[in-house]
């Protein structure tokens, strides 16, 4: 009899646990929604892009620096179903990259795809590493080293050469925007991405650091205005967040407006290092970002998520609401 009672109690507990997990799964993965995270695994610093009729996400593999020697990519037709493309670029193809391969920025030019990345986490000038470029004929690679050396290999204006973003301006110019350690630089790229074109005053790297900037820059144009966005706080802590500014040129000046993405005690912490996708067909803006699940304390326990980004009538950005269900199915 005692054994029967124990078995019944265990069965009841198992049923309750199964019910709780089912409810949680339904809460997180609503029909027709992507769910957050959008794909499994620890990934950070996601760059979201559109190539043709597919969405792409190129993230950092979130792990100890010595293990960060490759990049995976993900593609989707609808934001809900994602296909993994493993090791689209790894250190075997880039002889000078040994560790800490971070923050991809991929751009199509002509018939080729250029993959900008940071490697080695250099701490002082003279150390090997910095921002590199790889190239491939397809977004899923395989990518090969384009320059045989870093494009940016030194600390200029206090900016560690990491967290690169390639911005294509409406006049056809391409800019590299990058920087960690609380400093951000911009430089105009040569047409072949092998170097830089000096600005009119002769400078090559111009500092555009706004108030409270830490790292993770990105930029887009909306209604003729340049939206510059970045991350603040410590990436390993709960207070990591995203702020932004608006200006009339890619070089600013940029005056900080405020935060638009930050931790939510009911959803997740450490929300930041994002990118922006625009679906022109449906006139929808999406923020692709990483966050840390509730209860997780490890710095590298970060997941890639997507939520809606909306604007006020005056062009300012509304605070982004983090969700568990994520965005609705949305084709291009």
- Mean pLDDT per block of 10 residues along the chain (332 residues) reads 44 39 46 95 99 98 99 99 98 98 99 99 98 99 99 99 99 99 99 98 98 99 99 98 99 98 98 98 98 98 99 99 98 96
Same domain, 13 and 150: no
Give the bridge partners for 256, in sequence order: 245
The answer to the question of residue 110 being in a domain is yes
Name the burial class of residue 317, with classes exposed (0-12), middle (13-18) and buried (19+) by CB atoms within 10 angstroms of its CB: buried
Same domain, 287 and 226: yes
Same domain, 1 and 42: no
How many domains is the chain partitioned into structurally?
A: 2
Residue 171 appears among annotated catalytic residues: no
Among candidate residues 90, 163, 215, 232, the one labeled active-site is: 215
What is the chain's percent helix, strand, coil content, to nearest 5? 10, 45, 45
Read off the CATH number of the domain in which 216 is found: 2.115.10.20
- Residue 13, domain extent: 1-30
The answer to the question of residue 322 being in a domain is no
Q: Is the pTM of this model over 0.85?
A: yes
Q: How many CB atoms lie within 10 A of CB 64?
A: 10
Contact assessment for residue 60 and residue 103, using Cβ atoms and an 8 Å cutoff = yes
How high is the pLDDT of residue 7? Answer: 43
Strand order in the sheet with 43-51: 43-51, 54-61, 70-76, 82-90
How high is the pLDDT of residue 11? Answer: 45
The answer to the question of residue 323 being in a domain is no
Which DSSP category does 148 fall into?
Answer: S
Q: Are strands 102-109 and 82-90 parallel, antiparallel or unpaired?
A: unpaired
Q: How many CB atoms lie within 10 A of CB 257?
A: 15
For residue 242, the surrounding DSSP H or E stretch is strand 241-247
Contact assessment for residue 235 and residue 215, using Cβ atoms and an 8 Å cutoff = yes
Return the structure tokens found at 46.
């996601």
Name the burial class of residue 92, with classes exposed (0-12), middle (13-18) and buried (19+) by CB atoms within 10 angstroms of its CB: exposed
Distance (Å) of CA 174 to CA 126, 190, 195, 292: 27, 8, 11, 33
Q: 216-225 as b/e, with b when 16 or more CB fall inside 10 Å?
A: bbbbeeeeee
Same domain, 162 and 204: yes
Residue 215 appears among annotated catalytic residues: yes
Rounded Cα distance, 37 and 292, in Å: 10
The answer to the question of residue 330 being in a domain is no
Same domain, 21 and 156: no
Q: Are strands 144-145 and 174-178 parallel, antiparallel or unpaired?
A: unpaired
The answer to the question of residue 326 being in a domain is no
How high is the pLDDT of residue 3? Answer: 45
Distance (Å) of CA 102 to CA 118, 122, 223, 227: 5, 12, 31, 23
Contact assessment for residue 89 and residue 141, using Cβ atoms and an 8 Å cutoff = yes
Same domain, 15 and 64: no
């Amino acid at each position: 009899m005692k054994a029967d009672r124990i078995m019944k109690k265990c069965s009841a507990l198992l049923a309750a646990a199964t019910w709780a997990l089912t409810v949680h799964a339904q809460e997180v993965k609503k029909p027709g929604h992507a769910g957050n995270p959008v794909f499994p695994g620890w990934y950070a610093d996601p760059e979201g892009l559109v190539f043709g009729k597919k969405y792409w996400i190129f993230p950092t593999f979130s792990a100890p620096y010595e293990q960060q020697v490759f990049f995976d990519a993900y593609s989707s037709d609808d934001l809900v179903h994602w296909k993994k493309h493993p090791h689209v670029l790894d250190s075997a193809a880039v002889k000078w990259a040994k560790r800490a391969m971070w923050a991809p920025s991929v751009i199509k030019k002509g018939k080729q795809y250029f993959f900008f990345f940071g490697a080695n986490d250099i701490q002082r000038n003279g150390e090997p590493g910095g921002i590199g470029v790889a190239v491939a004929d397809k977004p899923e690679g395989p990518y090969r080293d384009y320059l045989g050396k870093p494009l940016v290999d030194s600390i200029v204006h206090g900016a560690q050469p990491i967290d690169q973003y390639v911005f294509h301006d409406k006049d056809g110019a391409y800019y590299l925007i990058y920087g960690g350690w609380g400093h951000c630089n911009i430089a105009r790229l040569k047409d072949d991405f092998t170097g830089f074109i000096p600005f009119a005053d002769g400078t090559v790297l111009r500092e555009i650091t706004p108030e409270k900037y830490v790292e993770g820059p990105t930029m887009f144009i909306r209604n003729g205005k340049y939206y510059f966005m970045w991350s603040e706080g410590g990436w390993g802590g709960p207070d990591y967040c995203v702020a932004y500014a608006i200006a009339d040129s890619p070089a600013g000046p940029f005056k900080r407006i405020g935060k638009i993405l930050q931790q939510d005690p009911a959803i997740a912490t450490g929300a930041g290092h994002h990118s922006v996708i625009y679906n022109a067909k449906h006139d929808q803006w999406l923020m692709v970002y990483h966050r840390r699940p509730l209860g997780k304390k490890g710095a590298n326990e970060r997941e890639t998520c997507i939520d809606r980004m909306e604007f006020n009538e005056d062009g300012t950005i509304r605070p982004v609401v983090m969700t568990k269900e994520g965005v609705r199915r949305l084709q291009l």
